[in-house]
Amino acid sequence: MTEEQNQAFFTSLEDLKKNLEGGLAEDSRVLDLSTRPDFLSPEQEQWFSEDYEGQLSVDIYQTKDNIVVKSTIAGVRPEDLEIYIHNDLLTIRGKREQEKEEKEADYFYKECYWGGFSRSIILPVEVQADRVEATFKNGILKITLPKAQKSKLINVEVKED
């Protein structure tokens, strides 16, 4: 960040602080994390493009028989989700659409991510893809992936011919 950008950033923070201390003025700016800043790197530019997908946060753990993936995806309908398994790669993709967007001036904070999201996870063990189950309850997606039968070590006796 250049010195000029630094100064503009801190000036904006000072304005926000004054507005919060003195009550919100009608002309106060909204803290909007979805607004594209002027000083983005080329890699960060893609965050604001139409085809950008947010990365889904997940918890992954194992039990004796399963690998379990959980994710909070509130606001997503089950029909807007796609779950794929290809070899050792699990992919979850979907879209969270905002029902009604208020006027920009009505927001105090705008931090929720709306739009497409995806996540691909390399599975740590082989799973039985034909027995995978996905459930959705109270905004939590739970994918249960049964572990494949572990291969057994078989000792082969060598006989002299």
Residue 45 shares a structural domain with residue 75: no
Half-sphere CA count of 144, side-chain side, radius 13 A:
9
Residue 43 shares a structural domain with residue 71: no
**Structural domain containing residue 136:** 53-148
Residue 140 shares a structural domain with residue 116: yes
- Which pLDDT belongs to residue 31? 43
Q: For residue 114, what are the contacts with CB-CB under 8 A and spacing of at least 6? A: 96, 97, 98
The answer to the question of residue 78 being in a domain is yes
| CA pair distance 67, 134, nearest whole angstrom | 12
Residue 136 shares a structural domain with residue 57: yes
Phi and psi angles of residue 25, each rounded to the nearest 5 degrees, phi first: -85, 160
Residue 87 shares a structural domain with residue 133: yes
- Which pLDDT belongs to residue 120? 93
| CA pair distance 28, 78, nearest whole angstrom | 39
Domain total for the chain? 2
Residue 8 shares a structural domain with residue 31: yes
pLDDT of 25 higher than 50: no
Residue 68 shares a structural domain with residue 136: yes
Measured over the CA atoms of residue 130, residue 132, residue 133 and residue 136, the dihedral's sign is negative
Residue 24 pLDDT grade (very low, low, confident, very high; cuts 50, 70, 90): very low
Residue 127 shares a structural domain with residue 89: yes
Tens-digit pLDDT profile for residues 85-111? 998 899 999 988 877 766 666 778 877
- Which pLDDT belongs to residue 145? 96
| CA pair distance 10, 13, nearest whole angstrom | 5
